[in-house]
Amino acid sequence: MNMKVNIAGVEWNNPVTVASGTFGSGAEFADYVDLNRLGAVTTKGVANIPWAGNPTPRVAETYGGMMNAVGLQNPGIDLFCERDIPFLRQYDTKIIVNVCGKSTEDYCEVVERLADEDVDMLEINISCPNVKEGGIAFGQNPKAAEEITKAVKKYAKQPVIMKLSPNVTSIAEMAKAVEAGGADAVSLINTLTGMKVDINRKAFVLANKTGGVSGPAIHPIAVRMVYEAANAVQIPIIGMGGIASAEDAIEMLLVGASAVSVGTANFHDPAVTMKVVDGIEAYMKRQGFESVADMVGIVK
């Protein structure tokens, strides 16, 4: 039996990574998780210069999940390259760098900077609902999504994963647009835009008013969108949204994801990814699957 998967030419030891922004750049979780046992580590979004993020409060609990409006706080590409890449390189795992920006030029600058760095894949976040410029502006319009994909592909030396937003009418159309732009893979879903009111303060809970909803509550929506995207494009899909167990991850694989990311569940149980890896392996043994690829998309 073989747990390895090939995502756009990059071989991961198993199909499990972490969702950007829920695992830092790995160091915060290294006491709980053997990073060698993750197929890949996906980093928090990184921009060309440091970003402070949004004013607080910027996270809140919700039924079956959470809301965040962190606003892509990050140290900028210089510190990231100096500190986080060497840390992750100590481990036998692939490195996926999540890239954010406010303009096409911002994204391209980071991608160009990473071209000669020792990282395996790039994930371009065009789906953050919590920043006013950039991000989602590219992720809700198929033409803009295609154009930004083409632009980053000009500079990228690593395979490019375009990260899609669920805050659209047709996820299939968005997946097709980034495929047309030359994306090597797509990942989905980012968070769903939500709102929460503190009835005693008679005010919004988050300073940003709205935030991205994540966690188990969004899982069925994510499974549906992964299925729709998988049926629309030929490139591999990395499925995420509310995965908190091996069962949740296997659902994603069966509807067409070639790999999965675990996000919000890391906050609740820092070692959850290890349980997901072990659970997928146990399921494959029980069900007689020789490879992960054999189960991808078999539920039609």
Ligand X SMILES: Cc1cc2nc3c(=O)[nH]c(=O)nc-3n(C[C@H](O)[C@H](O)[C@H](O)COP(=O)(O)O)c2cc1C
DSSP collapsed to 3 states, the chain: CECCEEECCEEECCCEEECCCCCCCCHHHCCCCCHHHCCEEECCCECCCCECCCCCCCEEEECCEEEECCCCCECCHHHHHHHHHHHHHCCCCEEEEEECCCCHHHHHHHHHHHCCCCCCEEEEECCCCCCCCCCHHHHCCHHHHHHHHHHHHHHCCCCEEEECCCCCCCHHHHHHHHHHCCCCEEEECCCEEEECEECCCCEECCCCCEEEEECHHHHHHHHHHHHHHHCCCCCCEEEECCCCCHHHHHHHHHCCCCEEEECCHHHHCCCHHHHHHHHHHHHHHHHCCCEHHHHCCCCC
190 binds ligand X (CB under 6 A): yes
CB 120 within 8 A of CB 13: no
Provide the mask over 86-115, with x wherever binding to ligand X is found by CB under 6 A and - wherever it is not: ------------x-----------------
Nearest residue relative to ligand X (C-beta): 21
Examine residue 22 and tell whether it contacts ligand X (CB under 6 A).
Answer: yes
| Cβ proximity to ligand X, 21 vs 256, nearer residue | 21
Number of residues engaging ligand X in binding (CB under 6 A): 25
- Residue 263 in contact with ligand X, rule: CB under 6 A: yes
What gap in Å lies between CA 195 and CA 23, rounded to an integer?
24
**Interacting residues with ligand X between 24 and 63 (CB under 6 A):** 44-45
Query: For ligand X, which is the closer residue by CB, 145 or 289?
Result: 145
**Pick 62 or 141: Cβ nearer ligand X:** 62
Considering only residues 40, 77, 95, 218, which one is a binding residue for ligand X as defined by CB under 6 A? 218
Among 38, 72, 119, 255, binds ligand X (CB under 6 A): 72
Which of 241, 260, 276, 284: binder of ligand X (CB under 6 A)? 241
Contacting range for ligand X; rule: CB under 6 A; set: 48-56, 198-206, 229-237, 238-246: 238-246
70 binds ligand X (CB under 6 A): yes
- CB distance 198 to 204 below 8 Å: yes
Closer CB to ligand X, 98 or 158, in the complex: 98
Least separation in angstroms between CB 148 and ligand X: 14
Residue type, 263: G
- Asked if 128 is an active-site residue, the reply is yes
- Contacting residue, 16, 35, 151, 243, with ligand X by CB under 6 A: 243
Give min distance, CB of 285 to ligand X, in A.
25
Which residues are identified as catalytic?
128
**Which residues form the interface with ligand X (CB under 6 A)?**
19-22, 44-45, 68, 70, 72, 98, 125, 128, 163, 190-191, 214-215, 218, 240-243, 262-264
